[in-house]
Amino acid sequence: MEIKITKTTAPKEKPDSSTLGFGKFFTDHMFVMQYSRGKGWYDAQIIPFGNLSIHPASTVLHYGSEIFEGLKAYRRKDGKVQMFRPIENIRRMNASAERLCLPQIPEDLAMQVLTEFVKFEQDWTPSSEGTSLYLRPFMFGNDETLGVHAVHNATFMIIASPVGSYYKEGINPVKIMIEDQDVRAVRGGTGYAKCGGNYAASNRAGERAEQKGYSQVLWLDGVERKYIEEVGAMNVMFLIGDEIVTPALTGSILPGITRKSCIEVLKSKGYKVSERLLSIDELSSAMEDGTLKEAWGCGTAAVISPIGQLCYKDKIYAVNNGQIGEVTQMLYDTLTGIQWGKIEDRFGWILEL
């Protein structure tokens, strides 16, 4: 599809890399494309970054028809820019779209518009250690009526934000509170879809944990409140004895691309990895008897986030004496090494622009 380009007449100054943070600054342009039933996707454009104007009855504002993705472009030492497994994000976005009755985007078209947009904005990819250009594709239902039904009109957009290093002061293990009141998702619901509504539903528990001095919550399943699901907006892994355990994708868990990459790296290095149900009782015993050796969250933003402390029903357990463990560090080094092009990509994950 041809993308119509309108260049900004007021290019912004690029922020200093020490002030970046996460999602505070945006590039000069954004990608927008429209959909209507019967017509398909049309009107692909790169336009100056700016506010949207939508109808007050627009579906997204009332019924939450919204999905998104998150991935990064990385600047290598030689100046080239590359992306990490973007096709996985496209496939997941289409799976989310299917769940929310939003239109899917053919993979070729989605890859084309994503790469053309990132190429167009690639000067915005910062180059300091640990920084990257965060890409946020998203889609929302945009019917101009209050009738409740599957979406007939939708808008797909991509915005981009230069982001700072997640670990400015070195990797510090985080404190996690196991949530036993709210649940994030249930089987049959939207847990496996990357949709805004899941985030809206998790905010209350996250807020409560923060007030108590914890950085995230560990979610239990919504039916029995017994099985470990995810930590905040990251997937979670545990080294118990010599087995690396991560919750199986039962439908209420977001299938993370970092999770998938961790599993592939671990298996390639000969570790025993199990995707299975892990109950809070099994985890508690492993914490009591010392067989829980390491725990970490994994997701695009932080890559790997070591867990140094877990709190369950006011009982506090230290993990690996609050230090980052060997396997956690290895995963961090391997994934960030491939993403920033410091080590060879033997998996075929990198797409160079």
Residues that bind ligand PLP (CB under 6 A): 70, 194, 230, 233-235, 254, 256-259, 299-300
Please list the residues that pair with 163 across neighbouring strands. 132
CB nearer to ligand PLP: pick between 153 and 216:
216
CB atoms within 10 A of CB 329: 16
Q: Where are the beta strands (DSSP E) in 223-270?
A: 228-231, 235-240, 243-247
CB nearer to ligand PLP: pick between 125 and 300:
300
Residue 142 C-beta: closest distance to ligand PLP, Å: 22
CB nearer to ligand PLP: pick between 28 and 230:
230
Residue 79 C-beta: closest distance to ligand PLP, Å: 26
CB nearer to ligand PLP: pick between 27 and 258:
258
CB nearer to ligand PLP: pick between 155 and 258:
258
Rounded to whole angstroms, how far apart are CA atoms 24 and 21? Answer: 7
Residue 41 C-beta: closest distance to ligand PLP, Å: 24
CB nearer to ligand PLP: pick between 154 and 253:
253
In 3D space, the residue among 332, 331, 329, 316 whose CA is nearest the CA of residue 175 turns out to be 316
DSSP line for 110-165 = HHHHHHHHHHHHGGG---STT-EEEEEEEEEE--BS---SS-SEEEEEEEEEEE--
Residue 217 C-beta: closest distance to ligand PLP, Å: 11
Rg (CA), the chain: 21
Rounded to whole angstroms, how far apart are CA atoms 142 and 216? Answer: 33
Distance set, CA 196 to CA 26, 65, 119, 246, 258 (Å): 20, 8, 27, 24, 20
H or E segment to which residue 39 belongs = none
DSSP line for 275-331 = EE--BHHHHHHHHHTT-EEEEEEEETTTEEEEEEEEEETTEEEESGGGS--HHHHHH
CB nearer to ligand PLP: pick between 176 and 234:
234
CB nearer to ligand PLP: pick between 27 and 190:
190
DSSP 215: S
Residue 300 C-beta: closest distance to ligand PLP, Å: 3
Rounded to whole angstroms, how far apart are CA atoms 122 and 82? Answer: 10
Residue 69 C-beta: closest distance to ligand PLP, Å: 8
Residue 336 C-beta: closest distance to ligand PLP, Å: 13
Residue 70 C-beta: closest distance to ligand PLP, Å: 6
Residue 34 burial by CB count (10 A; 0-12/13-18/19+): exposed, middle or buried?
A: middle
CB nearer to ligand PLP: pick between 218 and 233:
233
CB nearer to ligand PLP: pick between 60 and 254:
254
Residue 251 C-beta: closest distance to ligand PLP, Å: 13
Residue 28 C-beta: closest distance to ligand PLP, Å: 25
Distance set, CA 142 to CA 54, 62, 163 (Å): 8, 10, 29
